Structure 1
Amino acid sequence: MRVRVRPEWIDYNGHLSEAYYVLAFGFATDALMDRVGLDETYRARTGCSLYTVEAHVRYLDEVGAGAELAIATTVVGAGAKKLHLCHEMAVAATVVATEEILALHVGEGRAVPFPAEVAERLAPLVEPPPSYAGRAITDP
């Protein structure tokens, strides 16, 4: 998934504002949802969607206006109701940020199992987690 950094995404320090890293990672989650059948039609028909319930972002390098972001998504776990993803954001093949998320498949305000066809599409996508997965924030 690719997206270009817009001028309005730049903060007062002249770099991509932290909120827009998360926005771009959200676009990557949406692309995966579309790929496995949790697309707009599915959401309208079922009222179900993915809700991110936990996230860990690492900001590794600065990004300027106009940069093209390439985001690769790794599915590191897929349970009956849960999805564990890792996103890597790169600019010109240099990783500038990562995000690890835990999402729940939610319908009617509670976690519900993925439909069988979605679970079948997710299962072969599961790969070993990258080295940064599971990291915690530590004191300096």
Structure 2
Amino acid sequence: MNPDPPRLPLYRDTVRPEWIDYNGHMSEAFYVLVFGFATDTVMELIGVDADYRKSTGCSMYTVESHVRYLRDVPEGARLAVRTRVLGAVGKKAWFTHEMYVGTEPAPDADPVATIELLLLHVDQNAGRATPFPEPILDTLDSLTEQPPSWTGRSVGAP
């Protein structure tokens, strides 16, 4: 793990009217959509871009996630999503995204939602997971940060 990794750029979006549910705030599905767009951005930055997917037949699939909805988000809100790479080994990668309202969250700002993800590098032609190429693993390793305190939790029955 890099002791002082470079921070990934923020993904930014704006809450659209069609994302608003019957309770008057962003529907849960659209939090996940925005997080998915943030993951797509990271894939581009690490080299799992359209050219890579076309030439190799490989992509990344989210196979597990844990979302926390922490605050309501109104229509028109500007969103900023901070991504952290938590690690990668073999065919697996772990990311987190933290969603904030505003274009540049303050260092002490609380997120409105978070997600923890497990992703697999998949050979779509073979129909199975396959190890990342070394250059992509090296890039992921250079971006790896300490996990935030909220990671590693699960939903449990009472």
TM-score (norm 2): 0.86
Corresponding position of 1:104: 120
Distance 2:43 2:70 in 1: 26
Corresponding position of 1:118: 136
How far the C-alpha of 1:139 sits from its partner, in A, is: 4.2
Distance 1:2 1:139 in 2: 35
Alignment map for 1:75-94 (pairs within 5 Å): 75-92=85-102, 93=105, 94=110
Distance 1:58 1:138 in 2: 14
Q: Does 1:40 align with 2:61?
A: no
Q: What SS does the corresponding residue of 1:122 show, helix, strand or coil? A: helix
Amino acid at match of 1:82: K
Following TM superposition, where does structure 1 have runs of at least 4 consecutive aligned residues deviating by more than 3 angstroms?
A: none
Equivalenced residues, count? 140
Amino acid at match of 2:45: R
Corresponding position of 2:146: 128
Identical amino acids, percent of aligned pairs:
57
Of structures 1 and 2, the one with the larger relative CO (CA 8 A, separation 6+) is 2
How far the C-alpha of 1:18 sits from its partner, in A, is: 0.3
* Uncovered stretches (5+) of structure 2, i.e. residues with no partner: 1-10
Q: What SS does the corresponding residue of 2:112 show, helix, strand or coil? A: strand
Corresponding position of 1:61: 71
Corresponding position of 2:3: none
Amino acid at match of 1:83: A
* Uncovered stretches (5+) of structure 1, i.e. residues with no partner: none
Corresponding position of 1:11: 21
Between Structure 1 and Structure 2, which shows a larger proportion of strand residues?
1
Q: Which region of structure 1 is more displaced relative to structure 2, 22-31 or 113-122?
A: 113-122
Q: Deviations over 1:75-105 (max 9, x none)?
A: 0111110000010000033410000000000
How far the C-alpha of 1:138 sits from its partner, in A, is: 3.3
Distance 1:91 1:42 in 2: 33
Amino acid at match of 1:20: F
